[in-house]
Chains A and B, each alone.
Chain A
């Protein structure tokens, strides 16, 4: 396997306190550490009772937060804070599909599911992935949003996603894993569950499937061009030709300009398998990544295999994997870690974090070698992002 070559110098590790941005089924919580990452102060909830799919910091200014919100009764929207969560304002024009012509059936956004800051050269640019699968862009820091017509109005969209579905998350189709190439703001990757991975070289005007080598065991077609179920796809910011993907059918790596994904999950223990939701990258080492396997057998329980939760780490781009379960329940641990609910900070050693469907936040200050619970009794956790550090 070729070693991924960083495109530019590796940044120095961060050294300050870390703030975790925790999105849950019932609102937002913020967890701030001390410098040693030993004690954590829990603040919140904000937006109590609202479903928060994703809460993301703008790395370009270090203070703007965008929050993808809906309530059980109410439609989806985006809230934004320009003072790191002290005050919030709703987007003036949240993501919404165009009104259909009379007599035609139009799309309606069910959830804003995923948020990604735009390229560093485009201050104020953001992307949002929604369900039913759609891509939106803001150029004013999330105040107003426009659909990316090259995807949303693409005549192939309905084919790629296999027809419209009634539901949004957690059971329905959604667009997520929006990755912007740090070398080129026009170069984008997205993941759709289900639909597959797609690439654009023109800021979203045109798209093409990028799924060669990825299994889609649930489809009747052998080696389909699209229709795959991407769970989480990440591009390494220091080696942007390297992509990793946790899929419904395995863990994969792709080194561009190659087109064919390599199933690095084949090196996982057979008893554990290579199914899961999240995939986390080391911020400075493109060959190091973490996954959190789940049970994808029988009726897809989607909990830790055997009730024994563990992360798995690879330090060689997925050639080999090592189990990391010290500190985690040795038995009867039946939670799920969702695709946005695992992350890493920028410290040395890197802190790794995950939130569970049972409302716990766990952290490791030793790159996964030992885990400690830092919050319990929260609502079901949908997203965890690390800021600062």
Chain B
């Protein structure tokens, strides 16, 4: 499925905004991203498997709250960096 990578994480994807990844759950998708782009997962997900405070992940425009969210092949995943202030 197509994953939109935010600018904050594109150092890991060689500058690419859109990457293809696979997985039946958000956890599996993130594992696939980590396999291909080492280090990317820990910048988004902490060691307790919580999505970091200033990262939001949307599946088909619905915000995913945990890594157990189920995914289908044609889903669109959008990762957003969300932080206010200077």
Q: A73–B55 contact, CB under 8 A? A: yes
Q: B48–A73 contact, CB under 8 A? A: no
Among A72, A77, A108, point to the contact of B48 (Cβ < 8 A).
A108
A97 to B50, CA, bound (A): 13
Q: Across the two chains, which residue of chain A brings its CB closest to B47?
A: A96
Per-position contact with B for A98-114: 1 when CB-CB < 8 Å, else 0? 11100001111100000
Known: A99-B48, A108-B46. 20 other contacts (CB 8 A): A71-B43, A73-B6, A73-B8, A73-B54, A73-B55, A73-B81, A73-B82, A73-B83, A74-B8, A74-B43, A74-B44, A75-B42, A75-B46, A77-B42, A90-B39, A97-B48, A98-B47, A99-B47, A99-B49, A105-B48
A195 located at the interface, meaning its Cβ lies under 8 Å from any Cβ of chain B in the complex: no
Inside 8 A of A73's CB, which chain B residues have their CB? 6, 8, 52, 54-55, 81-83
Q: A75–B52 contact, CB under 8 A? A: yes
Task: Contacts A92-B38, A99-B48, A100-B48 given; indicate if A75 touches B43 (C-beta within 8 A).
Answer: yes
Q: A96–B42 contact, CB under 8 A? A: yes
A94 located at the interface, meaning its Cβ lies under 8 Å from any Cβ of chain B in the complex: yes
Q: Across the two chains, which residue of chain A brings its CB closest to B54?
A: A73
B33 located at the interface, meaning its Cβ lies under 8 Å from any Cβ of chain A in the complex: no
**Which 7 A-B residue pairings sit nearest by Cβ, starting from the closest?**
A73-B81, A108-B46, A74-B43, A96-B47, A106-B48, A73-B54, A72-B83
Among B9, B38, B47, B48, point to the contact of A74 (Cβ < 8 A).
B9
A-B contact pairs, 14 of them (CB 8 A): A72-B54, A72-B85, A74-B8, A74-B44, A74-B54, A75-B42, A75-B45, A75-B52, A77-B43, A90-B39, A96-B46, A99-B47, A106-B48, A108-B46
Binding site for B on A (CB under 8 A): 71-75, 77, 90, 92, 94, 96-100, 105-109
Q: Across the two chains, which residue of chain B brings its CB closest to A49?
A: B8
- Chain B: residues with Cβ within 8 Å of the partner, total of 21
Could you count the A-B residue pairs with CB atoms below 8 Å apart for me: how many are there?
A: 55
Binding site for A on B (CB under 8 A): 6, 8-9, 38-39, 42-50, 52, 54-55, 81-83, 85
A interface secondary structure, majority: loop
A77 to B38, CA, bound (A): 13
Inside 8 A of A96's CB, which chain B residues have their CB? 42, 46-47
Q: A108–B82 contact, CB under 8 A? A: no
Q: Across the two chains, which residue of chain A brings its CB closest to B45?
A: A75
Inside 8 A of B8's CB, which chain A residues have their CB? 71, 73-74
A109 to B42, CA, bound (A): 11
Inside 8 A of B54's CB, which chain A residues have their CB? 72-74
B18 CB to closest chain A CB (Å) equals 19
Inside 8 A of A94's CB, which chain B residues have their CB? 42
Q: B47–A108 contact, CB under 8 A? A: yes
A76 to B82, CA, bound (A): 16
Task: Contacts A74-B52, A75-B52, A77-B39 given; indicate if A97 touches B44 (C-beta within 8 A).
Answer: no
A92 to B85, CA, bound (A): 30
Among A71, A92, A105, A106, point to the contact of B47 (Cβ < 8 A).
A106
Q: B46–A74 contact, CB under 8 A? A: no
Inside 8 A of B52's CB, which chain A residues have their CB? 73-75
Inside 8 A of A100's CB, which chain B residues have their CB? 48
B39 CB to closest chain A CB (Å) equals 5
A74 to B39, CA, bound (A): 11
A162 to B45, CA, bound (A): 27
Q: Across the two chains, which residue of chain A brings its CB closest to B8?
A: A73
